[in-house]
Amino acid sequence: MDWLTVFQNSLTQMIGVSAIIYCLAALGLNIQFGYTGLLNFGQAGFAAIGAYAIAVTVATLGWPLWLALFFGILGAIIFALLLGIPTLRLRADYLAIVTIAAAEIIRQVARAVSLNDYFGGSDGISGKYAADWYALNPLPVGIDTALIRFSRNDLWVVINGWTLVAVIVLITWLLMRSPWGRVLKSIREDEDAVRSLGKNVYLYKMQALTLGGVIGAFAGVIFAVAAQSVQPDNYSTTLTFFAYAVLILGGAARVFGPVVGSMIFWFLLVFVGQALNNAVKAGYISSSILRPDQVGQIQFMLVGLGLMALMIYRPQGIFGDEKELALDER
Amino acid sequence: MTGSKSEGGGMRSPMATGKVARRPGYRRVVAFALALFAGLLMAIAPAIAADTGLKGTVKDPTSGAGIAGVVITSEGDGFTESATTGADGKWAIALPGEGTYTVTLDTTSLPSGLGLANPERGTTSIDAYSGQVKTILFPLGDGSAPAPGSEAASKWSQIPQLTVDGIIFGIVIALAAVGLSLVFGTTKLTNFAHGELIALGALLTFFFSSIVGLPLVIAIVVAVLASAFIGGWVQNRVLWKQLRMRGTGLIAALVVSIGLGFFIRYFFLFVFGGQTRQFDEFAGQAGIEIGPVLITPKDLIASFVGVILIGLTTYWLLRTKAGKATRAVADNPALASASGIEVEKVISTVWILGAGLAAFSGVMIGLQSGVSWYMGFQVLLLVFAGTVLGGLGTAFGAIIGSLIVGVLIQLSTLVIPTELKYVGALVVLILILLIRPEGILGRRERIG
């Protein structure tokens, strides 16, 4: 068993593209769920909007990347408004049901055969979306060390991705210190009290949903640019659930929660997957118990169990403050 | 419910604060039940494992007898193999290993007057996994399927058929929705793992019929009872009751149910594999014509049983003491407890009932379109749509809402492509929340 490769892959994924994507998705959720208490289970839908905005605009229509980015943000705002208007006046679980349904609507529309010409059906859209942007890459070569390994293009994505994360973390930190952020937190704690102070709770919730959704769309943008393709099934509910696991692991309502959570999550996920894979190949685990193609299923089962255990025994995650997250009473 | 925030103490039931008498025997029963459950599901995997290959039976649609001499060809990466059906209509092809293969039924080898029920399904593409024998079915008809062009003209004549299909689908959704709604009503838990109870019923039925070898009807009864016990009583006992006693909040419990559903789904994938399988019996059953409507006897009987189950549940809720207690708990747990109702006992009953009904819903789906690990989650959102449409927390609303959703999904195929029919239902769900968020039978105060 080659432990060094396992370790190298795990460390690479810990700061790799996947970690950035889920970190961004979780940063959006942090504003919605962590600070405002909104149960958005449709983050995959927001990410899909960001990704498809890039793919359709650049690959299908042949328009520039910056315009695609604009469409992605616009699309996320419209989606947030569509979801928010009917549900934000209702109890929290209605938003959960509607957002999870809406994300499924987006995925099923994107993979529909009858709309193949626009969204490419279940194969999605592949193409050189971001050739111009990759051409800006000043790095001569990638990195190949014993601990981490990135190709030249991946390194460019990773550097830009974490820069984007840093900017969003900074914005979140500034916003949550501001009076606006304090209103969000008090909505989470006691909506009626905020209302009695004359604040328009509905409007604040809508703003939080929209902001979190736009950040979620950025997750999709990075996904599309890094993979140079979009597939509808990458934006299933699994993405949302993973993002929740990331957020709760790191600690909701903490600025750095999603960042730390995403890194640990991907390190553990890849490490367990690779270790199991190697163990099966080396014959430590009989293939009658575990076939190599079943390793992914074990990983997913562990994510499910982990999410349950965290929520039951340590809902504040690693860095969260238990007092801050009064998740009850809504 | 008074509707005040501090009062709606989430998962906490009045029992939570009191001392709970812990009988040591319970632990052992629970451990035994879990071991049994794991054992059952683990047993599926090796039982299926055999040589890699394909098999199936070609049957006459009217008599149900096997047809001999039909040629089936399988092609893959540099591999071609043909098989001819025997006197019993059975055929089998051994495959060299994993990969993607196409399977084609040679229509010229069929007896005259017979053709494929769906001419486009003469060739199917399948993914074969090593150690698995897949069943491939080619349902036959009289070979006179309508030409594609004539379909549009007769669109309106499809309405009776679609309505009946919709009602059957509505019954499927309603069976699952009653449990979801009752659990929500009594414990305020929005259970995102409810879909897995649907899949559990179907998977256990498959296990008892195709692997243990029980006749399907008996397998269904055993599977529904086993699901009610494992998915209802044990689940509540091991997980949700403990969370209520810990005082876990509503939203935390919701996220727990998401994690649980995720875990169970991939556990099902792990033991059952990724493909959709049919029950051995009644798989290619031909439909009978009743007026303008074509319906298979198995669907007719299953729907009939489904309606009886829903009727019995309604009777139980309205007329029996336990049912009245359930409605009392749903209305106000604290007051119900003060009036001498054992709240925990009611919740346990509701879980058992809900899991059993959901299991039968899964059996109905399995009879219609086969069993797969993902089937529960696929329907779950539609179950939510039905529940919300009728009013979250009201059992009767859930039934009516589900029937509307079912009929609406089928009728919507007149206007939108069939592949997008579920999308239509989900859009309606969102619209309903805009217009009447409390649902058809819900009460305004419930939505807080």
What is A208-276 written as a DSSP string? HHHHHHHHHHHHHHHHHHHHTEE-GGGGSHHHHHHHHHHHHHH-TT-TTHHHHHHHHHHHHHHHHHHHH
What pTM was computed for the model? 0.77
Distance CA(A23)–CA(A165), nearest Å, equals 8
How is residue A129 written in tokens?
A: 């979306």
- Whether the per-residue pLDDT at B185 is higher than 60: the answer is yes
Percent of chain B with pLDDT over 70: 77
pLDDT attached to residue A210: 96
Percent of chain B with pLDDT over 90: 30
Q: Which of B46, B129, B269 sits opposite A297 (nearest CB)?
A: B269
Q: What is the DSSP letter of B440?
A: S
Q: Which of A105, A298, A303 sits opposite B426 (nearest CB)?
A: A105
Element (H, E) at B421: helix B421-435
- The pLDDT of B353-370, averaged and rounded, is 93
Confidence of residue A120 (pLDDT cuts 50, 70, 90): confident
Weakest-pLDDT range from A307-321, B27-41, B159-173, B224-238: B27-41
pLDDT attached to residue B202: 95
Summarised one tens digit per residue, pLDDT across range A200-243 is: 999 999 999 999 999 999 999 999 999 888 999 899 988 999 99
- Whether the per-residue pLDDT at B101 is higher than 80: the answer is no
pLDDT attached to residue A314: 84
CB contact under 8 A, A304 and B263: yes
- Whether the per-residue pLDDT at B158 is higher than 90: the answer is no
User: Across chain B, what does the average pLDDT equal?
Assistant: 79
- Whether the per-residue pLDDT at A24 is higher than 90: the answer is yes
> Which chain B residues contact residue A110 at CB under 8 A?
none
**CB atoms near residue A63 (< 10 Å):** 14
- The pLDDT of A264-291, averaged and rounded, is 84
Summarised one tens digit per residue, pLDDT across range A281-294 is: 887 777 777 777 88
- Whether the per-residue pLDDT at A45 is higher than 70: the answer is yes
What's the number of CA atoms in the CB half-sphere (13 Å) around residue B359?
Answer: 26
Q: What is the DSSP letter of B21?
A: P
What's the number of CA atoms in the CB half-sphere (13 Å) around residue A96?
Answer: 22
Ranges A114-123, A210-219, B114-123, B148-157, most confident: A210-219
Do B119 and B100 contact (CB within 8 A), yes or no?
A: no
Q: Which of B258, B417, B427 sits opposite A241 (nearest CB)?
A: B258
pLDDT attached to residue B129: 61
- Residue B435 vs residue B357, higher pLDDT: B357
Q: Which of B270, B417, B448 sits opposite A301 (nearest CB)?
A: B270
Contact A113/B at CB under 8 A: yes
Give the residue among B380, B419, B110 at the shortest CA–CA distance from A101: B380
Distance CA(B9)–CA(A328), nearest Å, equals 8
What is the Cα B3 distance to its own chain's centre?
Answer: 34
- Whether the per-residue pLDDT at B420 is higher than 90: the answer is no
How many degrees, rounded to 5, is the angle at CA B311 between CA B306 and CA B312? 100
What residue has token string 């219609």? B368
The partner residues of B83 in beta bridges, in order of sequence, read B72
How is residue B433 written in tokens?
A: 């929340």
Do A22 and A222 contact (CB within 8 A), yes or no?
A: no
pLDDT attached to residue B31: 62
DSSP per-residue string spanning B250-305: HHHHHHHHHHHHHHHHHHHHHHH-SS-B--STTTTPPPEEETTEEE-HHHHHHHHH
Q: Which of A41, A286, A311, A316 to mutate to test the interface with B (most CBs of B within 10 A)?
A: A311
Residue environment code for A244-257, b if the CB has 16+ CB neighbours within 10 A, otherwise e: bbbbbbbbbbbbeb
Phi first, then psi: what are they for A242, rounded to 5°?
A: -60, -40
CB neighbour list of residue B434: distance below 8 Å, 6 or more residues apart:
A85, A86
pLDDT attached to residue B92: 79
Name the strands in the sheet holding B71-76, side by side, starting at the edge strand that comes first in the sequence.
B79-84, B71-76, B99-105, B123-128
How is residue B35 written in tokens?
A: 């071991």
- Residue B78 vs residue B41, higher pLDDT: B78
Summarised one tens digit per residue, pLDDT across range A144-175 is: 887 888 888 889 999 999 999 999 999 999 99
**CB atoms near residue B421 (< 10 Å):** 18
DSSP per-residue string spanning A5-46: HHHHHHHHHHTSHHHHHHHHHHHHHIIIIIIT------HHHH
- Whether the per-residue pLDDT at B173 is higher than 70: the answer is yes
Distance CA(B366)–CA(A13), nearest Å, equals 40
The partner residues of B76 in beta bridges, in order of sequence, read B79
The partner residues of B246 in beta bridges, in order of sequence, read none
- Whether the per-residue pLDDT at B39 is higher than 90: the answer is no
Confidence of residue B38 (pLDDT cuts 50, 70, 90): low
- The pLDDT of B287-310, averaged and rounded, is 86
Do A329 and B10 contact (CB within 8 A), yes or no?
A: yes
How is residue A144 written in tokens?
A: 């190949």
pLDDT attached to residue A76: 96
Distance CA(B295)–CA(B286), nearest Å, equals 8
Weakest-pLDDT range from A257-266, A312-321, B360-369: A312-321
What is this model's ipTM?
0.87
pLDDT attached to residue B200: 96
Taking chain A, what is the end-to-end CA distance rounded to the nearest angstrom?
50
Contact A312/B at CB under 8 A: yes
Longest dimension (CA), chain B: 75
Confidence of residue B21 (pLDDT cuts 50, 70, 90): very low
Contact A93/B at CB under 8 A: yes
Confidence of residue B34 (pLDDT cuts 50, 70, 90): low
pLDDT attached to residue B147: 44
CB contact under 8 A, A288 and B266: no
